[in-house]
Amino acid sequence: MSKPVSLVAGNWKMNGQRGSWKEIDSLITKIDKEAPADCEVLICPPLTLMALFAVDASQSKVQIGAQDCHQNNKGAHTGDVSASMIADCGGSHIIVGHSERRADHQETSALVHDKAVSVVENGMKAIICVGETEAERDAGDAVKIVLDQISQSVPSTATSETVIIAYEPVWAIGTGRTPTVADVEEIHTAIRNSLIDRFSSDGAGFSILYGGSVKPSNAKELMGAENVNGALVGGASLKADDFNGIIDAYRP
């Protein structure tokens, strides 16, 4: 039975210019020198920077990924980019089903499923995001909503080597608010049990990240919770010191 890999991933969203490289370059050097024990580090910048970062980081322990992809490999899809193109640029992971894409682009779990299949078929890892809104939590439906998203978004061909789950409560993203550790553990343990039900012993090996207002001051507590195997970080991944402070949670 494989053990989940710990991962700290930065999602830059629609932020960052070519000059951002200078700050992140010094962070990558620091991470390479003081590599955290047993923890992978991933940065998902906007696509305009991805290829540049992937080339510069090719000798580094820091991996580079993307924030979304089209579900098809090629074709007449103006403005879209495929998983095969991202692999071609040196990407190792692609985030799919982020709540901002589910909300801004009406992405359904069925579409997220197809994107995840394409990511895996192109030899990368899919980070599949799930999470409830505040109204759904207040109605007592958080576990049900998240498990429905998991069952519809995670492909039946998924393995612990190819798919990572990120639990991101929508109301915690960019708000400075986080669930209690007990609430995080309730959802992550429900996700873990559903993965074991579906994928037998391999379900125990999937990495399950927490995302939503992670910062250096709460990283150790959130990432130390049961069945939490790392973090998907938004705002705090844009500042090298903050991102490094979060990675510190995994340094001995």
Residues annotated as part of the active site: 98, 168
Q: Is 97 annotated as a binding residue?
A: no
Q: What backbone phi and psi angles, to 5 degrees, belong to 113?
A: -55, -50
Give me the DSSP letters along 46-74.
-HHHHHHHHHHTTTSSEEEEES--BSSSS
Q: Counting contacts by CB under 6 A, is residue 235 touching ligand 13P?
A: yes
Three-point CA angle 79, 154, 5, nearest 5°: 100
Q: For ligand 13P, which residue of 191, 234, 240, 243 counts as binding (CB under 6 A)? A: 234
Site for ligand 13P in 166-225 (CB under 6 A): 168, 173-174, 211-214
Least distance from ligand 13P to the Cβ atom of residue 240, Å:
15
Instruction: Give the x-and-dash track for 89-128 against ligand 13P (CB under 6 A).
Output: ---------x------------------------------
Contact 130, 200 (CB under 8 A): no
**DSSP structure class, residue 6:** E
Give me the DSSP letters along 217-247.
HHHHHHHTSTT--EEEESGGGSSHHHHHHHH
Q: Is 230 annotated as a binding residue?
A: no
Q: Which two tokens stand for residue 22?
A: 């200078």
Least distance from ligand 13P to the Cβ atom of residue 42, Å:
11
Annotated binding site: 11-13, 174, 213, 234-235
Annotated binding site for substrate: 11-13, 174, 213, 234-235
Binding site for ligand 13P (CB under 6 A): 11, 98, 168, 173-174, 211-214, 232-236
